[in-house]
Amino acid sequence: MDLRDVLSGRILDQIIGKVDVAKGEYTVLVLDKAATKIVSSACKMQDVLARGVTLVESLEKMRAPMKLDAIYIMEPTLESVNKFLPDWDGSGQVKEPLYKCAHVFFTESCPDELFKKFGDPRIRRYLKALKEADICFLANESRVFTFNYPNAFLDFYKTDHGAKGPLFTKLASQLASLCYALEEYPTIRYRQGLTRIKDFADIVQNKLDGFKDENPNLGTIGRKSKSQLIILDRGFDPVTPILHHLTIQAMVYDLMKIENDQYSYKFKNQLGLENEKKAQLDESDNSWSSMRHQHLAEATKKVSSLVKDFLAEKKMSKVEGDVSLKSLHALMQQLPQYRRQLNQFMLQFNIVEEALRLYEANKYDTICRLEQTLATGEDENQEQVLDGMKLIIPALLDDKSSSENKARIVALYLLMSKGGVTPDTFARLMQHSNIIGNMRTTLLNLQYLGVNVIKDKGNASPNVLKRIPRDPSKYYPQSRWVPILQDILEYTMDEKLDYSYCAGTRGPVASDGKASGEAAHKGSDLDAKSKRGWVWQRGTGVPGGPKGSSGSQGAIGGRATIIVFIMGGVTYAELRLVYELMSTKIDENRKYADNYSIVIGSTDLVTPTKFFNLVEKLPPIVA
C-alpha cells in the first residue's frame, strides 16, 4: 500500500478527472491553505496540469476572473467558505462571478450549518457539484500520514475536557475519513486506562458508523474484516521520543537543520567553485529512500559500496581506497554524463559524513550507550542495572555536554525509576546537571504523560505492556531499545494483543477480527447527508459511489490493514519499524507482510527537541 498513491488517485482521478467539462476545455484549480498542503503531499504539479488544469490558485488570494470552470478543494470551515462565497454572490471586488461555474470538493465531512450557505440562489445557479472527498490527511510518506495539528499534544494533555473539545471532534472526523479513503471499517482498539483516549476512540467509532450506514459494503473485501485501528497517546511510550536514534533519518531530523524536509550541503560545480545545494528528503529520491532507515554504521559502508558497484557496472576506472567526497568530486569532473547519479551519491555521502562528524564531536557513542542502558534497564552484557544514579553522575558533571543531552539522561533515569524519585533526589539531579528553569519544568511536566517523576504525587501507574523478549546480539550496543509500538504491532498481527492493555470500542476482538458488539453499531449525525438533496454527494470513486467508480485503484488489495494513530506525535524511529515489519526482505517479518499492511500516522512528526519543547509548554507542575 502507498498512501501517496491512494491520495493522489483520489485527487487526480476522482476529483479533477471526474469534473464534467466540454471536450478540450481547461479548468482552474482553487485550493485553500489546508488543501494546498494535502495536494502538495501527494501530487506533482505536472500531474495536476496533465489533467486539464491550466492554473492553480490560492483561495485566500485575490484572483483575476476567468471564463473557465473552477474546481475548488477546501476544508469545510467557516473561514474557507467565507472566502468562496464572494467569488459568486457579487460581494467581492469583482461584482460578476469569478469563473464560469464551480465544482466544490470538501476535504472531509461538511457541517450542516456550512452546507446551508450553498443554498443561496446566487450560489446554487453556478454550482455543478458539491461533494465530500475524504482527503483530509497529508501523505508524508508511502506508509505515513499526519493531520498537520502540531498543538494537539498540548490541547490533549493540558485541558480537562481532553478529547471532547471541538478540535478533537474534527480530528476524529479526519481519522474516520482516512479509514473511508482506505476503504476500511476497522475494529478500533485504544490504550486502556486514559479516559480521554477512550472518549476520542468513541467519537471515531460513531463517525465510522455513519460511513458504514451510507455504505454497508465498507470494509468487507478479502481480509478487511480483520483490519484494526489502534489509537494511542504519546504517553504509551515516553522513552522513544527522548532517545538518540542512530538510523539516518532519525539523526538527520534530530541533529541537523532541516526545514521543509530540505537538506542543505556544499558541493563543487564544474568550475571547481563551491556552491550550496538543497535536496528534498522525500520518497521521490530513491537514494534517500534506500538509506533513511539504515543504521549509521551500515550506511557508511553502504554508500561506498554503491559507488564502486556503479563504476563497475559502467566499466569505469575503480576508485582506489575508500570512496570520499574528494574522490566523488574528481569523478564528477571525469564523468559529466553521469552527473545525476553521482549527485545522488554526493548527497548520501554528505549526509553520512555530517552524521559521523556530529556523532564523534558530541561523544554520542558514550551518550547513546548510557541512554540504552537506562532505557532497557540492562547494560550491554544483559546485566540488570542496580544503581542508575552511579551510572549517570559522570555524564551530568560533564561541562561539555549540552543541557538537552543531560535532560535526556535525567528523563531516562526518572523513567527507569518507575515509582519516581524523592524531592531530595530530584533536587540533587538538578544540581549535578546544572539544569534550571525551562528544562527543569520540562522534566516535572513528564507527569502529564503518566510518568511518576516525584514519589507520592498520586500519579497512577501507567498500564504496562509485557515486552517481547528479543535476541540482544541482533542490535548494536548503542541501539538496543525497541520501541513499544513494535511489540504492539507484533501482538496485533499474531492476534495476541492483550485486551487489558488495548481495549476495544466494541468489546474484545474475536479471532475473525470482529468485535463482540460490532453488529450493534449506532448511527450518527452523518445520516443526515442523504436528506440534503440537489447536488450533495459523498465523493466519487469510493465504496458506494456511482456505478463504475474505481475505488482506490486496488492500492489496498485483500490484506488486512492496521492503522496506527498516535495522539501527540510520532517519532522517526516508529516510522522505521513499520517499514521493517512490512519488509519481505527480513525473513521473520515475511509472515506479517504477506497478511497485513500497516500505515502509521499522528497529529505531527516529532523529534526529541520538539518533544521536549511541547512538554515544556504544558502548565508547570511544581515539585
Mark whether 232 and 267 lie in a shared domain: no
Please state, rounded to an integer, the average pLDDT across all residues of the chain.
87
For the segment 495-524, the average pLDDT, to the nearest whole number, is: 68
Beta strand 274-280 with 502-504: parallel, antiparallel or unpaired? unpaired
Please give the pLDDT value at position 178: 95
Cell of 105: 470538493
Q: Which helix (H) or strand (E) holds 300?
A: helix 296-313
Which segments of 508-554 are extended strands (E)? 536-538
Final residue before a domain boundary, out of 393, 428, 449: 449
Cβ neighbours of residue 362 closer than 8 Å, sequence gap 6 or more: 402, 405
By the 8 A CB rule, do 126 and 101 touch?
yes
Distance between CA atoms of residues 563 and 600, nearest Å: 6
Residue 123 counted as domain residue: yes
557-593: pLDDT as tens digits: 578 999 999 999 999 999 999 999 999 777 788 889 9
pLDDT 10s digits, 257-287:
899 999 998 876 666 677 888 999 999 888 8
Asked if residue 513 belongs to a domain, the reply is: yes
Domain identity same for 219 and 252: no
Q: Flag whether 457 is in a domain.
A: no
The enclosing H or E element of 303 equals helix 296-313
Q: Other C-beta atoms within 10 Å of 470: how many?
A: 12
Nearest to 478 by CA among 287, 250, 237: 250
Q: Is residue 56 part of a domain?
A: yes
pLDDT of residue 165: 76
282 and 252 housed in the same domain: yes
Residues 268 and 327 placed together within one structural domain of the fold: yes
What is the edge-to-edge ordering of all strands in the sheet holding 69-74?
53-58, 27-31, 69-74, 101-106, 127-132, 536-538
124's enclosing H/E stretch is helix 121-124
Cα 154 to chain centroid distance, Å, stands at 17
- 507 and 593 part of one domain: yes
**197-207 residue pLDDT tens:** 999 999 999 99
Dig out the grid coordinates for 149 from the structure.
495539528
Total tally of structural domains belonging to the chain: 4
Beginning with the edge strand found earlier in the chain, give each strand of the sheet holding 144-146 in spatial order: 138-141, 144-146, 596-602, 560-567, 228-233, 187-191, 502-504
Residues 116 and 189 in one domain: no
- pLDDT score at 482: 98
Q: Could you tell me the residue range of the domain that residue 335 belongs to?
A: 248-361
Q: How far apart are CA 392 and CA 397, in angstroms?
A: 9
* Cell triple for 104: 466544490
Domain end residue (candidates: 132, 165, 181): 132
pLDDT tens-digit profile of 174-233?
A: 999 999 999 999 999 999 988 899 999 999 999 999 999 999 999 988 778 899 999 999
Q: Are 592 and 493 in contact (CB under 8 A)?
A: yes
